[in-house]
Amino acid sequence: MKQFALILLMSAACYSCSKESTKTTETSNNTAPRAALTDRTISFSGITWTVRSESGTSGPGPNYWSNSSSSVWVDENGWLHLKLRKDASTGHWLCAEVYSNSTFGYGTYSWQVEGRVDLLDKNLVFGLFNYKAGADGFHEVDIEFSRWGNSSYPNYNYTVYPSTTHTPASVSATNELSLSGTYTTHTFTRTSSAVSFKGYHGFTNAAANAFFPWTTPSGFPVSSLSLPIHMNLWLVDGAAPSNGQSVELIVHNFTFTPQ
């Protein structure tokens, strides 16, 4: 698997600049007042999650968000489904997001994902992350699968935002992910001094299956807060999928192991 150099955003290449512009939209718009519809909650992996829904559009994107059971559901196996789909009546593409009602601090966060996350349309983003609403540009840890609207960009992204004003304003690493199957495991571990990431082929944490380990640089001020967990599937700049296809991804399991 071809690896790319680690990227500090203060000296990022063009594709990183484009990605960061999108993420700025995500954090700032994600905290704007919303015209929320009736809250819907689900239980997944022993945790209660709120399914995001509101009228109109909002970030990231901006996009339309749906809490319909056609967009977000837990099946008879206890697996979480997130689906990006086009609404036949309005023509709008509807995005999906859930966030935990409880918060989590230092420890290891791990997701078991079914789906070819390496083959997502260039305009799609699948995110697994910690995020503090209202703290734009701070207290955020991201795993994101996206080419940020450009098919030549790497498709696997790690980003960490600081706990306080800092230069650089965030640190990031990217990689070109290529899978031979549909099952992967993705993790990050938060401590008081660093965030460390790693992926695995299959539903395993075996060292032989690991890929793309990365840790924040020494001295970077990582968040010390207990934060909600988010999972979302959305469109870069609200642009429709270039292939015009709906996408469904399945998260079999999420675990948090406290430090």
Mind giving me the DSSP string for 105-166? -SEEEEEEEES-GGG--TTEEEEEEEE-TT-TTSSEEEEEEE-TT-TTS-SEEEEEE-SSS-
The reply to whether the predicted model has a pTM over 0.85 is yes
Rounded Cα gap, residues 209 and 4, in angstroms: 19
Tokens of 218: 């020494």
**pLDDT band, residue 32 (cuts 50/70/90):** very low
List, for residues 43-67, the tens digit of each pLDDT value.
999 999 999 998 899 999 999 999 9
**pLDDT at residue 55, as a whole number:** 87
How many other CB atoms are found less than 10 A from the CB of residue 235? 23
Average pLDDT over residues 31-42: 62
Domains of the chain from N-terminus onward:
7-258 (2.60.120.200)
Rounded Cα gap, residues 200 and 208, in angstroms: 9
* In the chain, % of residues over pLDDT 70: 85
In the predicted model, what is the mean pLDDT of the chain?
89
Does 86 have pLDDT greater than 90? yes
Tokens of 257: 């192991």
Answer positive or negative: Cα dihedral of 166, 177, 188, 229: positive
**pLDDT at residue 10, as a whole number:** 36
Q: Between 144 and 12, name the one with better pLDDT.
A: 144
Rounded Cα gap, residues 57 and 64, in angstroms: 5
List, for residues 113-147, the tens digit of each pLDDT value.
999 999 999 999 999 999 998 888 999 999 999 99
**pLDDT at residue 155, as a whole number:** 98
